[in-house]
Amino acid sequence: MVDMKLLSRKSKKKKHKKRHLFINDPKYILMNINKLPQMLKNKIYILFMRQYWRNTIPITSKSPTWYTHAVKQEKLLYEARKDNIHFLHLPCNTLPENKKYIVGCQCFHCTHAVDPVHKLIQLKKQAVCSLHFNRTVPNTDSKWNEPYEYYFNHNTNPISVITGMPIFNPDYEIEYLDYDDNDDYYTENYITDESDNE
C-alpha cells in the first residue's frame, strides 16, 4: 500500500521546487511578469505605481499652456489703462507703421513720433469739442473708448452705477498742456468737417 502522507509530502516538495525561468532581456519583461504568482504581481504593481506618482505631476494640477500668455496680456491691459494708452496702440493690436495719432494716447508713437503741429491741432479740436475723439477712433461697443469702467449694482432699487478704474481719458494731454483758450485760429477753423479723421 502506498502511504498517503508520503505522497502528499512529495507533491508539496514538487510544488515548492517549481522554478520560473526568466529571460534577462527587457523585451521579455511582460512574459517574465506573467510567470509570477498573482500576489507578487499585485505587490509589484502597487510599488511601481507609488513610485510613478511620486515623480509625476498630473495634467489636471498643472497650469494650462495658455496661462502665462494670458497673465502677460492682463498685465499689458492694466499698464495701458494706468498709463492712458489707447487699446488700438497696444503692440498686440496695431503694427507700428499703421498707427495714427489718437487724442490723449500716451504711447511712444503718439508722444514722440507724431508731427507736433498736427498733434496740437488735434488737441485744440478736442478742447473745443469733446466729441472729436469719438470721430477719430472707430465706433465700437467695447469698453475701450469709455472714460471709466462702470459696474451696475443690481442689489439696490433703483439700480446704482459704480464707477471703476479709468480706461482711457482723451482729455489727458489737454489737462496738462499749456495753451491759449483765446486762440481764434483753432476755434474759427474748427469746422465740423469730419473729413479730417486722423
Of 136, 120, 91, 103, the residue nearest 186 (C-alpha): 120
- Same-domain status, 104 and 160: yes
Counted residue by residue, the chain has a size of 198
- Whether the predicted pLDDT of 196 surpasses 60: no
- Same-domain status, 108 and 181: yes
61 occurs within a structural domain: no
Domains of the chain: total = 2
Average pLDDT over residues 155-161: 80
102 occurs within a structural domain: yes
pLDDT the model gives residue 178: 54
Q: How many CB atoms lie within 10 A of CB 84?
A: 18
- Same-domain status, 171 and 107: yes
- Whether the predicted pLDDT of 198 surpasses 50: no
Mean pLDDT over each residue of the chain, to the nearest integer: 79
Average pLDDT over residues 104-111: 90
36 pLDDT band, cuts 50/70/90, is: confident
C-alpha 20/C-alpha 34 separation (Å) is 10
20 occurs within a structural domain: no
Residue 190 in grid coordinates: 474748427
Per residue in 117-126, pLDDT tens? Answer: 998 898 888 8
CB of 101 within 8 A of CB of 118? yes
Q: Which residue has the higher pLDDT, 186 or 58?
A: 58
- Same-domain status, 183 and 102: yes
Average pLDDT over residues 75-81: 93
Q: Which residue has the higher pLDDT, 65 or 6?
A: 65
- Whether the predicted pLDDT of 185 surpasses 50: no
Print the SS3 string covering the chain: CCCHHHHHHHHHHHHHCCCCCCCCCHHHHHHHHHHCCHHHHHHHHHHHHHHHHHHCCCHHHCCCCCHHHHHHHHHHHHHHHHHCCCHHHCCCCCCHHHCCCCCCCCCHHHHHHCCHHHHHHHHHHHHHCCCHHHHHCCCCCCHHHCCEEEEEECCCCCCEEEEEEECCCCCHHHHHCCCCCCCHHHHHCCCCCCCCCC
- Same-domain status, 172 and 102: yes
Of 136, 139, 145, 140, the residue nearest 197 (C-alpha): 136
Kindly state the percentage of the chain with pLDDT values over 90. 20
Range of the domain at 52: 25-56
157 occurs within a structural domain: yes
Range from 132-136, 153-157, 194-198 carrying the lowest mean pLDDT: 194-198
115 occurs within a structural domain: yes
C-alpha 61/C-alpha 184 separation (Å) is 66
Domain boundary (33, 56, 79) is at 56
C-alpha 37/C-alpha 20 separation (Å) is 10
| Residue written as grid cell 498733434 | 119
- Whether the predicted pLDDT of 187 surpasses 70: no
- Whether the predicted pLDDT of 13 surpasses 70: no
pLDDT the model gives residue 8: 59
C-alpha 137/C-alpha 144 separation (Å) is 11
- Same-domain status, 117 and 183: yes
- Whether the predicted pLDDT of 10 surpasses 70: no
- Same-domain status, 109 and 42: no
- Same-domain status, 107 and 183: yes
pLDDT the model gives residue 63: 85
- Same-domain status, 104 and 40: no
1 occurs within a structural domain: no
- Same-domain status, 39 and 106: no
